[in-house]
Homo-oligomer: A and B are copies of this chain.
Amino acid sequence: MINQLVSKIKKTNAPIVVGLDPVLKYIPAHVTEKAYKECGETLEGAAEAIWQFNKEIIDNIYDLIPAVKPQIAMYEQFGVEGIKAFKKTVDYCKEKGLIVIGDIKRGDIGSTSEAYAVGHLGKVQVGSQSFYGFDEDFATVNPYLGSDGVKPFMAVCKRESKGIFILVKTSNPSSGEFQDRLIDGRPLYEIVGEKVAEWGEEHMGNSYSYVGAVVGATYPEMGKVLRKVMPKAYILVPGYGAQGGKGTDLVHFFNEDGLGAIVNSSRGIIAAYQEEKYAEFGAENFGSASRAAVEEMREDIAAALAGKK
């Protein structure tokens, strides 16, 4: 799957992943109203609104990008109905040829991590049959529990040719509270990054590993260091756009081959129609606004990478 991701990034010339994190306030009134009319102001209605919103955006951008990253929390908040909308979204994105990175940030002790890995990336056995649960292509994983918590994901990735991105340095303001603390003179995120490189050696694709890393765009200097610590890890970079990361900040996350990073934008794309810049599209055409925002993001990153050369 990492080889497919690299090849799709080259083909689209867009190291971009769109975060499908549908908050109700991002969804235009005509979409929510229609959903509530059909299903009521209920959890089912919210899930339907989310699904219709996602579908319209996907239909408008699927040919421009290699991958999407649905954030499961935004679905899970609506309980079982939300989880159904998550699954529907994953399936539809795959139908449209997109690679799906499940932003699930799971991680637990061995046997429990195995259950998460099986449910999100692999097949679960039921009697003589086996079934995919959610069937994403990649998943994000929290490393706090150490190798025990990561290895079961790797085992499933090997069986299924799928991949993971491990949280190394997250994009949020307080990520430094633990991640930046010095251990033998080096920050924890570097220690975790080294582990990611080590784990990654065990499951290599053609030029990059099936084990990638999450490093926030909001910390470009740390990205620079981590790029060297984990040369073969694809870096999933959240924090671009709404969270404050700029195109010029991103160059450090890429390797000399122009590859090695994929930048996420969520709100900046899916709620583009709410920005002044794209207001001309109007709420009715929110999908087209999202398309324009993807195109601009692609140019912004290309310009920054051209400046690097």
Which residues does A use to contact B, with CB under 8 Å?
A: 21, 23-24, 32, 36, 41-43, 45-46, 71, 73-74, 76-80, 82-84, 87, 105-113, 115-116, 118-120, 124-129, 131-134, 142-149, 167, 170-179, 181-184, 188, 191-192, 195, 238
Contact = CB atoms under 8 A, between A and B. Distances in A.
Nearest to A187: B183
Contacts of A126: 24, 36, 41-43, 45-46, 78
Contacts of A179: 144, 146
Nearest to A181: B183
Contacts of A146: 172, 174-179
Given A76-B119, A78-B124, 8 more contacts: A71-B112, A73-B116, A77-B133, A109-B172, A143-B144, A144-B170, A146-B179, A148-B175
Given A79-B119, A109-B172, A36 B127 contact: yes
A223 to B, nearest CB: 17
Nearest to A79: B133
A149 B191 CA distance: 21
Nearest to A87: B80
A73 B119 contact: yes
Given A41-B129, A76-B119, A78-B133, A174 B147 contact: yes
Contacts of A177: 146-147, 195
Nearest to A243: B109
A134 to B, nearest CB: 6
B172 A181 contact: no
Nearest to A111: B23
Q: Kindly list the 7 A-B residue pairs having the minimum CB-CB distance in the complex, ordered from nearest.
A: A146-B177, A79-B133, A146-B174, A77-B119, A41-B127, A109-B172, A73-B115
A112 B32 CA distance: 21
15 contacts: A24-B125, A42-B126, A46-B126, A73-B108, A73-B116, A79-B87, A80-B84, A107-B142, A142-B144, A143-B144, A145-B172, A145-B175, A146-B178, A181-B183, A181-B191
Given A42-B126, A144-B167, A172-B109, A178 B149 contact: no
A131 B80 CA distance: 12
A169 to B, nearest CB: 10
A51 to B, nearest CB: 13
A148 to B, nearest CB: 4
Contacts of A46: 124, 126
Given A74-B112, A128-B41, A182-B183, A134 B79 contact: yes
A185 B132 CA distance: 46
A142 B176 CA distance: 15
A276 to B, nearest CB: 22
